[in-house]
Amino acid sequence: MLPSNIVDKIGKNLHLQSRHPLNWIKHKIQNYFQSGKVSSLTPFIFHDGFAPQVSIKDNFDSLLIPADHVSRSHKDTFYIDDDTVLRTHTSAHQNQLLRQGERYFLVTGDVYRRDTVDATHYPVFHQMEGVWVPRLKDLGAFTDPQKEVTKHLHATLEGLAKYLFGNVECRWVDCYFPFTAPSWELEIFFNGDWLEVLGCGLIEKKILENNGMPDDVGWAFGLGLERLAMVLFQIPDIRLFWSEDPRFLNQFQDSADVIFKPYSKHPCVTKDISFWISSDYHENDFYQLIREAAEDLIEEVKLIDNFQHPKTKQINHTYRIIYRSMDRTLTNEEINNLQEVIRQKTQELPIELR
Ligand code: PHE
């Protein structure tokens, strides 16, 4: 069963809402891929409307994600039933499109993950996936397609970073994804910090084989739209993307050339909660419970104390819950009520309140 705060988000499709910041950034990226900067021989097809309910096969198996990989766990992924999940990434559509013979495409969609609670994490966010698998004949006379495709990947994505962020310094960091090898993360130096922009790599040979392209070489990348939009527009809290407050949305009415001007920040209210945990306790279950109880009134949940009782060996966790609305001032009464609801709900967890 999916939690109600998650069900509410399905079908909102912020990336399809005209003039929403996620829509602006999606268009910017699509424009880049359309502009012929990438390759005029290989026109990209844009897919924006795939439903987020996907099979376990598409989300994990066909992407060669091992059976014991953490991302499959019920504490990280929202399961609908034994065969179906809410996609955890837009890579879930790679295989189906390759199988249909598509070679150059971008897929944009909402993705769902159980996660921590703070200004940059939200259980629903939006990703964009890009795939490029040239016909060997289009690569021309090059003798080493691996090398050629890698060069194209790096040039294309550095070009994208510069298209979005200006003339930034880029660096490639080796990393691991089960469905690409080799794999990299692209980082850019922006406002004094190295910022991770996307993950990418050469598509695993096995995936291309499974989809009828045994002789081809191609690349794939995936990026998070909120992450980029937060940097580009200086949006300080990821919850704002879900706000229907005109003070937020109106700032994006005219163009994508916007620096967000925060409207007055409302005061926060802080409450702590302490409990003894047992061995099958998972933090993400507690975070999800809070999300469900308090939705967007939660700014952050921090583990502030973690100690083991010297005699009983029991472990105690103390969390600080920071309540703050993006739109209004909260009353003490409503926070006390919420805190009580959360305390009540923790009875569903393998913990003992103190
Ligand atoms: N799916 C990966 C993620 O969500 C990103 C990715 C896509 C990496 C395609 C490589 C290739 O983190």
Find tokens 């990434």 and name the residue: 89
Q: Which residues pair with 353 in a beta bridge?
A: 275
The 3-state DSSP class for residue 350 equals coil
| Distance from residue 56's CA to the centre of ligand 1 (Å) | 16
Radius of gyration of the chain (CA): 22
Closest-lying ligand 1 atom to the alpha carbon of residue 183: 10
Nearest Cα residue to atom 10 of ligand 1: 200
CA 176 to mean position of chain CA atoms = 17
- Per the prediction, the chain carries an average pLDDT of 95
Residue nearest atom 2 of ligand 1, based on CA coordinates:
222
What would the pLDDT profile of 234-292 be if each residue is shown by its tens digit? 999 999 999 999 999 999 999 888 999 988 789 999 999 999 999 999 999 999 999 99
Mutation to probe ligand 1, out of 126, 132, 179, 186 (largest number of atoms < 8 A from CB): 179
* Distances, alpha carbon 49 to alpha carbons 107, 223, 311, 335, in Å: 8, 17, 56, 38
In terms of Cβ atoms closer than 10 Å to its own Cβ (0-12, 13-18, 19+), residue 90 is buried
* Site residues for ligand 1, CB cut-off 6 Å: 89, 91, 129, 177, 180, 199-201, 220-222
Residue whose Cα lies nearest atom 7 of ligand 1: it is 222
Residue 8: partners with Cβ closer than 8 Å, 6 or more residues away: none
Up-side HSE of residue 60: CA atoms within 13 Å toward CB?
18
- Residues in the chain, pLDDT under 70: 141-142
CB contact at 8 A, 244 and 328: no
Which pLDDT value is given to residue 281? 96
Alpha carbon nearest to ligand 1 atom 6, residue? 222
The sheet with strand 124-132 has its strands ordered as: 45-47, 104-112, 124-132, 219-224, 193-203, 180-190, 169-177
Q: Residue 118 forms beta bridges with which residues?
A: 121
pLDDT at 336: 96
3-state secondary structure of 244: coil
Tell me which residue has its CA closest to atom 4 in ligand 1: 89
Report the separation in Å between the CA atom of 129 and the middle of ligand 1, taken as the mean of its atom positions.
7
- The reported pLDDT for the residue numbered 142 is 66
Dihedral-angle region of residue 191 (phi above 0 means left; psi in -120 to 50 means alpha; beta otherwise): left
C-alpha 88 to ligand 1 mean position (Å): 10
Tell me which residue of 161, 26, 14 sits closest to 107, measured CA to CA: 26
Q: Give the pLDDT confidence score for residue 136 in this predicted structure.
A: 84
